[in-house]
């Protein structure tokens, strides 16, 4: 499905990508790159966007990837903490580098060592609960302990909730304004007595107008207000859905644990009664709720005789 300007809308872009992965806003992408890497590049046209638009993971596209200064940067924004981000970056990086080696400048069958851009993986976290300013996530953390993997992916997770990483925010004004905007939308929504879609839309519009007059991103957000509303509402709904899913999974795991605990307790009771040797298998089955066949099985496993 395509809209009037030819953009595929089967999967929704996020506001972060709309701001920092937009071909029309390369100067903001470069500002973010400089702030992360402590560089001072000035020519935004040096940026070559390499984002794969149809690379979809859990109904969301790859946010931003680009090449500059022989560095292949992979940027993702997450409003939900996800320790599995290294696997996601591994998948995206494989796709991007697969496209890269198809270029005329890379001779993959050459007997000479071919140079490739250095990958840098960054996850920008602005969710709740709060996390440290910086966390390092590793693919190897998902492998069994003491395993010796031949593949490693390291992701730097940076907390961009407003008030965190002040030095980084000071070095990239668009990022600081984005963080402030997201924080203000949340604040406006919390103050609202209603929690429906119209209330959220009102919170978004209010936050846009509350941006300072010298804000870099304010004119862009106002110009694309309908698109910004749609993206923010989509993200908000997905964030709530993921939170509910996590809550349901935790509840199911707790209930399963209770059931397993009860079962283990009944088994131990049956074993203790078998050890005493004063009750018949029918009596023990009646006390524990197990079948007679289960009592015979437990007796055999524990070398007990039962009448």
Taking the C-alpha atoms of residue 153 and residue 149, their distance in angstroms, rounded to an integer, is 11
Q: Would residue 15 count as lying in a domain?
A: yes
Q: Would residue 18 count as lying in a domain?
A: yes
Residue labelled with tokens 């840098």: 120
pLDDT in tens, 135-150: 999 999 999 988 889 9
Average pLDDT over residues 148-162: 95
**Is 24 in the same domain as 139?**
yes
- Residue 259's pLDDT is 64
CA angle 8, 13, 18 (to 5 degrees): 110
Average pLDDT over residues 288-306: 84
Q: Would residue 34 count as lying in a domain?
A: yes
Domain stop point among 159, 184, 205: 159
Domain stop point among 125, 143, 159: 159
Is 61:55 a contact under the CB 8 Å cutoff? Answer: yes
Quick check: 61 pLDDT over 70? Answer: no
Rounded to two decimals, what is the model's pTM?
0.73
Strand partners, 2: 8
Q: What is the DSSP string of 168-227?
A: HHHH-HHHHHHHHHHHHHHHHHHH-S--SHHHHHHHHHHHHHHS-TT-SSHHHHHHTHHH
Q: Would residue 124 count as lying in a domain?
A: yes
**Is 136 in the same domain as 8?**
yes
Q: Would residue 254 count as lying in a domain?
A: no
- Residue 69's pLDDT is 87
**Is 129 in the same domain as 272?**
no
The percentage of the chain sitting over the pLDDT mark of 90, rounded to a whole number, equals 47
Domain stop point among 100, 129, 159: 159
Q: Would residue 214 count as lying in a domain?
A: no
How many other CB atoms sit within 10 Å of the CB of residue 299?
A: 18
**Confidence grade of residue 292 (pLDDT, cut at 50, 70, 90):** confident
Average pLDDT over residues 11-29: 86
- Residue 133's pLDDT is 96
User: Based on the structure, what is the number of domains in the chain?
Assistant: 2
**Is 151 in the same domain as 270?**
no
The bridge status of strand 71-78 relative to strand 64-68 is antiparallel
**Is 143 in the same domain as 287?**
no
**Is 152 in the same domain as 278?**
no
Q: Would residue 104 count as lying in a domain?
A: yes
**Confidence grade of residue 80 (pLDDT, cut at 50, 70, 90):** confident
Strand partners, 60: 57
Domain range for 110 is 1-159
Taking the C-alpha atoms of residue 222 and residue 215, their distance in angstroms, rounded to an integer, is 11
Average pLDDT over residues 276-282: 75
């Amino acid at each position: 499905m395509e809209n009037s300007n030819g953009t595929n809308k089967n999967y929704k872009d996020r506001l972060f990508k709309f701001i920092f992965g937009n071909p029309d806003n390369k100067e903001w992408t470069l500002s973010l790159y400089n702030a992360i890497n402590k560089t001072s590049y000035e020519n935004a046209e040096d940026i070559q966007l390499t984002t794969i638009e149809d690379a979809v993971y859990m109904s969301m596209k790859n946010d931003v990837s680009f090449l500059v200064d022989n560095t292949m940067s992979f940027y993702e924004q997450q409003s939900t903490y996800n320790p599995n981000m290294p696997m996601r970056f591994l998948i995206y990086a494989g796709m991007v580098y697969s496209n890269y080696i198809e270029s005329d400048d890379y001779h993959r069958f050459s007997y000479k060592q071919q140079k490739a851009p250095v990958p840098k993986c960054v996850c920008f976290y602005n969710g709740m609960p709060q996390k440290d300013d910086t966390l390092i996530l590793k693919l190897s953390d998902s492998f069994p302990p003491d395993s010796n993997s031949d593949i490693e992916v390291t992701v730097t997770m940076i907390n961009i909730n407003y008030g965190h990483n002040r030095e980084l925010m000071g070095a990239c004004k668009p990022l600081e304004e984005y963080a402030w905007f997201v924080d203000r939308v949340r604040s406006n929504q919390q103050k609202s007595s209603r929690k429906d879609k119209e209330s959220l839309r009102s919170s978004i519009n209010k936050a846009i107008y509350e941006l300072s007059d010298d804000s870099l991103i304010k004119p862009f957000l106002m110009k694309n207000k309908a698109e910004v509303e749609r993206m923010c509402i989509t993200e908000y709904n997905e964030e709530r859905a993921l939170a509910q899913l996590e809550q349901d999974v935790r509840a199911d795991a707790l209930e399963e644990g209770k059931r397993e605990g009860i079962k283990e307790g009944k088994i131990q009771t049956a074993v203790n009664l078998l050890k005493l040797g004063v009750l018949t298998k029918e009596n023990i089955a009646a006390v524990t709720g197990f079948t007679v066949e289960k009592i015979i099985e437990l007796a055999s496993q524990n070398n007990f005789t039962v009448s």
